[in-house]
Amino acid sequence: MSDFAVDVRDVSKRFRLAHGQYKTVKERLIHGGKRKSTEDFWALDGVSLTVKEGETVGILGRNGSGKSTLLKCICGVLQPTKGEVAVRGKLAGLLELGAGFQQDLTGRENIYLNGSLMGMAKRDVDRVFDAIVDFSELEEFIDGPVKFYSSGMYVRLGFAVAVNMDPDVLVIDEVLAVGDERFQRKCIGRVKEFQKEGRTILLVTHAPDTVRSICDRGVVLSHGHLVGEGEPGEATRIFREGLMAEGAGMAVADPTLVAVPAMPMAVGMDSVPDTDRPVRFRSVHRVYSGDNSVPYMSTGDDLTIRVEFEALDPTPDVVFSLEIRDFVNNMVMRTDTSIIGMSIDAPRGISVMHFGIVKMPLLDGTFTFAMGIQSRDGILYDWQESAGTFAVMNPGKTTGLVRMDVHAALISTESDVDSSAALA
């Protein structure tokens, strides 16, 4: 059954990156019509994507991954270099901060202009005009030129126009992030209404949480290629993995092994020569309880941190501390073995200890952990500021930082009780 709403068929888009192109006739003439060297850049490279009718698809990708270019091709604002896009039904798009408005015209005139650009007759626009003004909450400003609008007003009007033009396919690029929170909620509410009405929605976002909470399906773009698609959770995971693989100084080669370097000293620590430390780290591994073939754990899995340490002499009462931080270095948790209520006497030589975190409550993200070894009275033997990282992928639809057990129940109201009593 070919019930597609948007069918992207092997679309490629090439841009010529000119290294300072000759833009004026004079420059062209002077350089004898020669073009400066150009470099081909494929913003999209053989992307195929079918969006079924009534589906909500989120497109994830980093900056420059080709998301916006793809949306522009779908909207028909840009034409692909190769391939084609078929769109069934009327399409309304909100590309990068709002609709296309003519600065000198008033809001009212722009509503009509947009309507006719989308192929609507005047009387059709008449019919939805009040709804647009209502939704955008711009009653007082609708007869003022849009060049005097604030950016928030601009986006509001753009969104209101797009959703009220009765599109079959709604394409939204990142606009949900603009506007105040209340309006954002209103927009998301409207998007959800659209979903219920069986309209197709395509949205681009950097925020995996949006995909998770709104979309039926997510696709991930990276460097112009479609690198993954699937359930929102799965897509989010692929997106995060891609982010990790690409950088931010994350360990990639063997993410489970965090070799302890020859001790760059933590601030405020006595510079005890490496060999003089009574107790020191040798290596830190982290082990996920789940599927070990993937470089992440799922929320609810267990995490084990395996620490190999070495003591020069038998040292009594050693305390191991563990700090977990999120990607912006907020402390998520700090604990140590003395808090846990455990005392460790380190024997001479190499030993191994484990920290185990049972049923990881954290949702999505990559977390770093710091570890320290100290004596019970606070003398720091060794400290690893970034002892390792672990990544958590949330398979469910909850968003936020941690998972909590949430139950919901409908408690019958008094009238229900009455009526059921009456029935009985």
Binders of other proteins in range 21-60 (CB under 8 A): 23-26, 28, 53-54
Smaller CB separation from other proteins, 1 or 267 = 1
Stretch that binds other proteins, among 80-88, 201-209, 271-279, 314-322 (CB under 8 A): 80-88
Rounded Cα distance between 201 and 118, Å, is: 17
If one asks whether residue 350 binds other proteins (CB under 8 A), the answer comes out as: no
Rounded Cα distance between 161 and 140, Å, is: 17
H or E element at residue 26: helix 25-30
Minimum gap (Å) between residue 401 Cβ and other proteins: 14
Near other proteins by CB under 8 A: residue from 216, 229, 326, 385: 216
Nearest to 57 by CA among 211, 236, 242: 211
Helices (H), 278-373: 337-340
DSSP characters over 142-207: TTSBGGGS-HHHHHHHHHHHHHHT--SEEEEESGGGSS-HHHHHHHHHHHHHHHHTT-EEEEEES-
Smaller CB separation from other proteins, 83 or 365 = 83
> Distance between the two ends of the chain, CA-based, in angstroms?
49
Single-letter code of the amino acid located at 366: T
- Contact assessment for residue 44 and residue 66, using Cβ atoms and an 8 Å cutoff: yes
Minimum gap (Å) between residue 132 Cβ and other proteins: 10
Smaller CB separation from other proteins, 130 or 418 = 130
Smaller CB separation from other proteins, 110 or 321 = 110
Minimum gap (Å) between residue 215 Cβ and other proteins: 11
Single-letter code of the amino acid located at 401: L
Smaller CB separation from other proteins, 75 or 346 = 75
Q: For 92, left (φ over 0), alpha (ψ -120 to 50), or beta? A: beta
Nearest to 93 by CA among 184, 180, 198, 174: 174
Minimum gap (Å) between residue 32 Cβ and other proteins: 16
User: According to CB under 8 A, which residues from 177 to 196 bind other proteins?
Assistant: 195-196
Minimum gap (Å) between residue 290 Cβ and other proteins: 13
Structure tokens at 174: 């990142």
Rounded Cα distance between 198 and 212, Å, is: 19
If one asks whether residue 66 binds other proteins (CB under 8 A), the answer comes out as: no
Minimum gap (Å) between residue 333 Cβ and other proteins: 18
Minimum gap (Å) between residue 347 Cβ and other proteins: 41
If one asks whether residue 278 binds other proteins (CB under 8 A), the answer comes out as: no
If one asks whether residue 233 binds other proteins (CB under 8 A), the answer comes out as: yes
If one asks whether residue 73 binds other proteins (CB under 8 A), the answer comes out as: yes
Stretch that binds other proteins, among 77-85, 275-283, 314-322, 384-392 (CB under 8 A): 77-85
User: According to CB under 8 A, which residues from 389 to 418 bind other proteins?
Assistant: 394-398, 403-408
User: According to CB under 8 A, which residues from 279 to 318 bind other proteins?
Assistant: 299-300
Minimum gap (Å) between residue 40 Cβ and other proteins: 13
Residue that is written with structure tokens 């927009």 in the block: 187
Smaller CB separation from other proteins, 169 or 244 = 169
If one asks whether residue 170 binds other proteins (CB under 8 A), the answer comes out as: no
Single-letter code of the amino acid located at 297: M
Helix (H, G, I), strand (E, B) or coil at 73: helix
